[in-house]
Amino acid sequence: MNKMVGDINMRIGEFAQKHNISQDTIRYYLDLGLLVTEKRGSQYRFTEADSQDIEIIMELKKLRFSLTEIQKILTFQRISGTNTESFRNLYLPILEAKKIEITNELNKYNQIIKSINNKIDEIKKTELSSNKRLGVPMSALNILSCPLCCGSLNIDAGTIEGNMIINADIKCDCGYEVNIEDGIYVDKKSVRTKLLNGKKMPTKEEYLASCSHAHVNFIYRGMVALVEFVNKYAKSPNYIMELDNCVGFFLLQYIGYLPRNSTYVLIEYDKERIAQLKKNLEMFYEHENFLFLCCDIDRLPIRKSSID
């Protein structure tokens, strides 16, 4: 493309500012031959013809042409001119090929959007359709006893749904009293907020934001090894008790292997945390045999020798 003699000359900074593009990008285009600019002394002098070229380059980039493709188009244009049959015969197939490429890419992204929408609908459907309610299994009563005197517990004023105790008052002759509230065995003398360094325990989202992927993967490998160990040495356990600082942490890795008839015992003195875990288990998992104990380890209402 020929430079007009009467064009106003611009230095690279002015040219970059005019077209809202960095000087480094302009230099890169010069190196590739996309811009063909005269150099006077140590300075490039850009003209309106260069402005036309940069506008063509920017337009073709918006059409998703690569720099190699743009170089080919500009080179042929500089030989044949724009409004010629030879240039039109070259340019039209390039545009049609790009249209096919973008159409195929669009179809691919439409398929991805469809798959994402299906995932979203699947999650929402699970949330809306879940009406399961977990409680203290009736079958688990035989392992419960008073943590103070080891005596039998008496259940009064209970609500039972599907062989699970949802609400009840529990007493022992020694004066020990607790409640089953919304399916959780609650020792009110133990209930308190779990703290870490004087602050409320972080949520999973907060925890992930503060630790590295390598750390998470290290923990996950440990969980995988533990799952393999349990599967190897405990084929069909009647009860599994999780004693962990983060209630349900191991369970959510192991639950896919949890035998249907096994009862999983979870212990946590922070009622809010164990209630949240219970809600997740109700909404997203089919297993029903859980014993949620909101209490301290030293006030554990488990009969001696009932769990290995």
- Residue 179: phi and psi, rounded to 5, are -135, 155
Contact 184, 294 (CB under 8 A): yes
Evaluated on CA atoms 19, 25, 27, 28, the torsion sign reads negative
Whole-number Å distance between alpha carbons of 223 and 75: 60
Strand intervals (E) in the chain: 38-40, 43-45, 136-137, 154-161, 164-171, 177-181, 184-186, 195-196, 199-200, 239-242, 263-267, 290-294
Give pLDDT, residue 127. Answer: 65
For the record, the structure tokens of 79 come out as 């030989």
Over the chain (308 residues), the average pLDDT of each successive run of 10 is 54 93 94 89 88 94 94 90 85 94 96 95 72 89 93 88 93 94 96 88 84 90 92 85 83 92 94 93 90 94 82
pLDDT of 168 reads 95
Q: What is the pLDDT of residue 278?
A: 95
How many CA atoms are closer than 13 Å to the CA of 77, on its beta-carbon side? 18
Give, in order, the Cα–Cα distances in Å from 177 to each of 137, 268, 303: 19, 18, 16
Reduced to 3 states (helix: H, G, I; strand: E, B; else coil), residue 164 is strand
pLDDT of res. 29: 94
Q: Where are the beta strands (DSSP E) in 42-193?
A: 43-45, 136-137, 154-161, 164-171, 177-181, 184-186
N-terminal to C-terminal alpha carbon distance within the chain: 87
Residue 122: the pLDDT is: 86
**Region class of 128: left (phi > 0), else alpha (psi between -120 and 50), else beta:** alpha
DSSP 246-302: STTTTHHHHTTT--TTPEEEEE-S-HHHHHHHHHHHHHH-----EEEEES-GGG--B
Angle at 161 between CA 155 and CA 162, to 5 degrees: 115
**What is the reported pLDDT for 38?**
83
Residue 28 CB neighbours (<10 A): 13
Q: Rg (Cα) of the chain, in Å, rounded?
A: 35
Q: How far from chain centre, in Å, is Cα 176?
A: 44
pLDDT on residue 207: 84
Report residue 51: phi and psi, to 5°: -65, -40
- With a CB cutoff of 8 Å and minimum separation 6, the contacts of 10 are 18, 45, 46, 47
Question: If we measure between CA atoms, which residue out of 291, 185, 179, 178 comes closest to residue 239?
Answer: 291
Distance (Å, whole) CA 35 – CA 79: 15
pLDDT at 4: 43
CA–CA separation, 257 and 253 (whole Å): 9
